[in-house]
């Protein structure tokens, strides 16, 4: 069973870049069969998809965040990462990494990390 674990700073200053890493265990990213995604949840609110990546490096982003988001993959470390630039207080949220099975229609999240709270504040 795939397990995911987010890591990264819990506090980021406004205008800086938020950087998080998700470490995958129980399976190899380079084996394919999954896409790897980031999702966030503002405090007390609903869920927002940020983007996802395949092991080959192909990426798909939420158009509302696309100008500020970069998702990358490091198959040697079995990790994928999120960078969100020019953050403001509105980017304060719990950030989750998750996997999407490579099916005929891609898009539901079967395994999730526990989530990490990132606060944007000076």
Partner 1 sequence: EIVMTQSPATLSVSPGERATLSCRASQSVSSNLAWYQQKPGQAPRLLIYGASTRATGIPARFSGSGSGTEFTLTISSLQSEDFAVYYCQQYNNWPPRLTFGGGTKVEIK
The site for partner 1 (CB under 8 A) is made up of: 46-49, 52, 60, 62-63, 96, 98, 105-110, 112-115
Cβ 52 to partner 1 shortest distance, Å: 7
**10 vs 46, beta carbon nearer partner 1:** 46
Dig out the tokens for 102 from the structure.
Answer: 């490579």
Q: How many residues does the chain have?
A: 122
Cβ 20 to partner 1 shortest distance, Å: 14
Among residues 74, 115, 60, 58, the alpha carbon closest in space to that of 49 is found at 60
Q: What angle do CA 42, 43, 48 make, to 5 degrees?
A: 20
Cβ 15 to partner 1 shortest distance, Å: 27
């Amino acid at each position: 069973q795939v397990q995911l674990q987010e890591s990264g700073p819990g506090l980021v200053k406004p205008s800086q870049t938020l950087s998080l890493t998700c470490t995958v265990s129980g399976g190899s990213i380079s084996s394919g069969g999954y896409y790897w995604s980031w999702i966030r949840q503002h405090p007390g609110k609903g869920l927002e998809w940020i983007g996802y990546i395949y092991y080959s490096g192909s990426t798909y982003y939420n158009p509302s965040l696309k100008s500020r988001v970069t998702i990358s993959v490091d198959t040697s470390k079995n990790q994928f990462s999120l960078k969100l630039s020019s953050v403001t207080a509105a980017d304060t949220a719990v950030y989750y990494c998750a996997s999407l099975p490579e099916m005929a229609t891609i898009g539901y999240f079967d395994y999730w990390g526990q989530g990490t709270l990132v606060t944007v504040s000076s």
